[in-house]
Chains A and B, each alone.
Chain A
Amino acid sequence: MKENWVKKMRQKLEGHQMAPPPGLWESIMQQMEAPSKPVRKPAAIWLRYLAAAMALLIVGFFAVYDSSNDGSDTNDSFLAEKVIKEELSAENEKYDIQLLPEEKALPKPLIAARNELDNIEESSSEPVTEDASMVPHQQTRTQDEQQMVTQHEQQTMPQREQQVSEPANHYPSATKASRKRAVGKWSLGVNTSGGLLALGQPVNNYSNVYISYMTAFQGTTDNSAYSRSIIRSERVSLMTHHPPVRLALSLDYQLNRNVALFSGINYSFFHSEYVIPQENLVLNNQRLNYLGLPLGLSWKLWSTTHLSFYLSGETMIEKCLNREPWQWSVQASAGVEYAFTRHLGIYLNPSLGYYFDDGSSLKHYYKEHPLSPSIELGIRLHLAR
């Protein structure tokens, strides 16, 4: 056929007509009458992968993050545990105490507390005689203890002084980025963070403050038949840092279709407690208030009619209202916003922040957890043009 074949084909189909698909004209008119929307290209594959990777990274971090033990309080904990271990060993040797399986599973401070209570109970209930075999033993122990206590005091008292006398100074931040929808260039957001994390955390975000002291007293009973020897009492005080709670007001300005500049003002509340767990005693509360000024950029990765995914990065300077320190932090987050209407949306921003050392001796949550996750939940109002 060759070119002849081609000509025949062309001639045969020249002017050929077919019925259009039903509803075509209506669809065309509907599209023509709709407000002119920019043709939205599907998000590039790599952007989707990036969004998915960010989400996995953040979810993974939250899954493995243990805010109660990030290693930043190892000095205090290590010292306390070491001393307790040594003491337990000595106690066990002396009184032939075997740790029960469940005791082995207990936290060291609690084991120490239990042993201490046992010792006190034994000492107070049993008649203590002037038995010659007992006295040297106790004297030896007292010397050891004295040495240990001195060591403890040297190591822990300064901390105690710091912690008790100084209000905390760090202040976390977690103001998050905002991302905009079409409407106007400005958006206003209100969010809170800290509460979600606090709910899921145990109360053991502590710094160990090891307070040792000697209590010497001579006890006598009514019949004076017994005398009490020196009893050593140790108390382990734990400083419990609760995750800070933050309330933030943010203002976003859309620089272009995908990028927004945001700032705002944040208020953060830090709460720490000094407790003696064995006595269920709260010694002191530390409450700190910070005001922060964030500045950051957010970048919209992908959006559908109601959902938007975005990344943001920010830096924030915060001032402790109770004390001197200024706290500087940087944060990165990946967020999602669900828009109920064109002007109102709810958003969730899981974030990861790093809180730089403020140079002070003040202890608080972010001193123990400089690298810390946060989850912000908020609403965003997209202002009309």
Chain B
Amino acid sequence: MSEQLIERIRNKDQLAMNQLYREYIGLLSSVCYRYVPMEDDVKDILQNSFIKIFTSISALEYRGEDAFRNWMVRVVVNEALLFLKNRKKLQYTDVGTATLQQIADEGEPEIERLSSAELHQLISELPDGYRTVVNLYVFEGYSHKEIAKLLNITESTSASQLFNAKRLLEKKIRKMLEGRK
């Protein structure tokens, strides 16, 4: 990604827009599917995200490719959170803490044995509340305090959602790995 390409996008060059799209659509689709599993919803979110990217890129100060990529990811994440908050009431489920604690005692599953697609799929199968907190904490690097503010929940809720999500994910991973044997 070069500054020249960004400059062309600022000048409404559709070829430049398409080039940017082709370069990042795989990554941004993966990010979006992690938050929202349904294809139609993902399409809406990505469409809004790219329109925002193309229209607000003129005000962006280019600070390197990594920063640019992270900015685009943040745009997609924000749109996904907006979608979840507005159109789909986030529910913070409780899947039986005792059961999850029992699972935890069985030891850590070997994540490295999973493919990225398999892990992505297992994350996307988590309940909405678990999935959202896992995404924000694990992949976006937010603290529980920041998550609480973003989702309008308490820090303890965020923490318990993450704890339960971990346990449920471990169970799913273990089950998937055992299925291979």
Contacts and interface: CB of A to CB of B under 8 A. Distances in A.
Interface in B15-45: 17-18, 21, 25-27, 29-30, 33-34, 39-40, 42-43
Contact of B30 (A6, A10, A18, A27): A18
Given A18-B120, A28-B50, A12 B29 contact: no
Contacts of A44: none
Given A1-B170, A21-B40, A24-B47, A10 B139 contact: yes
B51 interface: yes
A13 interface: yes
Contact of A13 (B29, B139, B170): B139
Given A9-B139, A16-B117, A27 B111 contact: no
A24 B54 contact: no
Interface string A246-279: 0000000000000000000000000000000000
Contact of B47 (A1, A13, A17, A28): A28
Given A5-B111, A10-B138, A24-B46, A17 B26 contact: yes
Q: Is the interface of B mostly helix, strand, loop or mixed?
A: helix
Interface residues of B, number: 33
A19 B114 contact: no
Given A9-B139, A29-B14, A20 B116 contact: no
Given A9-B138, A28-B21, 18 more contacts: A6-B137, A8-B112, A12-B119, A13-B30, A13-B34, A17-B29, A18-B26, A19-B26, A20-B46, A21-B29, A21-B46, A23-B43, A25-B18, A28-B51, A29-B14, A31-B51, A32-B14, A32-B54
Interface of A: 1, 5-6, 8-10, 12-13, 15-21, 23-25, 27-29, 31-32
Interface of B: 14, 17-18, 21, 25-27, 29-30, 33-34, 39-40, 42-43, 46-47, 50-51, 54, 108, 111-112, 114, 116-117, 119-120, 137-139, 166, 170
